[in-house]
Amino acid sequence: MKFRIVAAITGLALISVPANALTLGDGTVLTASGAGVLSVNLGGGLADFNSETSLTTYGASSPPQGPFTDGGANFSGDGILMLNPPAGAGGSLGLYAEPYHDTTQYLTVQPNGPNELVAFGHAYSTLGLYWGSMDTYNSIAFYNGATLIETLTGSDAASSVPALNGANGDQANDATNRFITISDLLGTNVLFTSIVLTSTQNSFELDNLSWGPRGGNIGNNPTPLPGALALFAGGLGMIGLVAGRKKRKTAGLASGIAAA
């Protein structure tokens, strides 16, 4: 089981850690907020995953949540909404773990089916999310209409955290649980209208998805409908080959913390 840290004094100390920005080789900028910062409002919309009642019982990976709207964005696919029980009430599942310090409902994307499509009502240039226990096999694909712009992985996100030595899935380490802001796509501030969240193993956990600034109407590049989700996810590579596979995420550095 993993322990939660909810002490207010601890949270205040963590938030004092400054953000760090990194420019990838293609010009995209990744910024890791200070440790303990769980949410950043980017001005376009914010999905905190708390308004919908989860359809999935803790310890299960189905049924998926299905289509829902949060913060003005439309979600669809096989993602589930989850709220882990208090520390001591549940065992190690090998399925999902709440992002470190996060005690609210979150979105988890597992290696089954078409994963999760997030369609926005307009075009935007910046995306942020509280990325839980970053893993190399987590990825975010950015689309403008049906055109794939760029795919970023957990390894890319982890590279923006100086204290981290790779995306190792550590559930109880501030280095692997950060609010990551993705901006200036390809170095030219390319706009996106949707994203596809993918994980080829258990799991991709996130909370407080945020987007902005608005770049105007979509025009000739309409936001893909949920029916196009399977086509998008199919191009992300060999997802079906690992469907249903379970994994044990790397145990936290703190003693007594087991993989969720």
Residue 58, SS3?
coil
At CA 172, angle to CA 169 and CA 177, rounded to 5?
Answer: 65
Contact 170, 252 (CB under 8 A): yes
Q: What is the pLDDT of residue 114?
A: 76
Spell out, as residue ranges, where the chain has pLDDT lower than 50: 1-18, 216-260
Q: What is the pLDDT of residue 88?
A: 63
Residue 17, SS3?
coil
Q: What is the pLDDT of residue 52?
A: 97
Integer Cα distance of 37 and 54 in angstroms: 24
Contact 131, 179 (CB under 8 A): yes
Cβ count within 10 A of residue 53: 9
Q: Which of 204, 69, 206, 46 is nearest to 138 (CA)?
A: 204
Integer Cα distance of 207 and 180 in angstroms: 11
Its pTM stands at: 0.77
Integer Cα distance of 206 and 176 in angstroms: 12
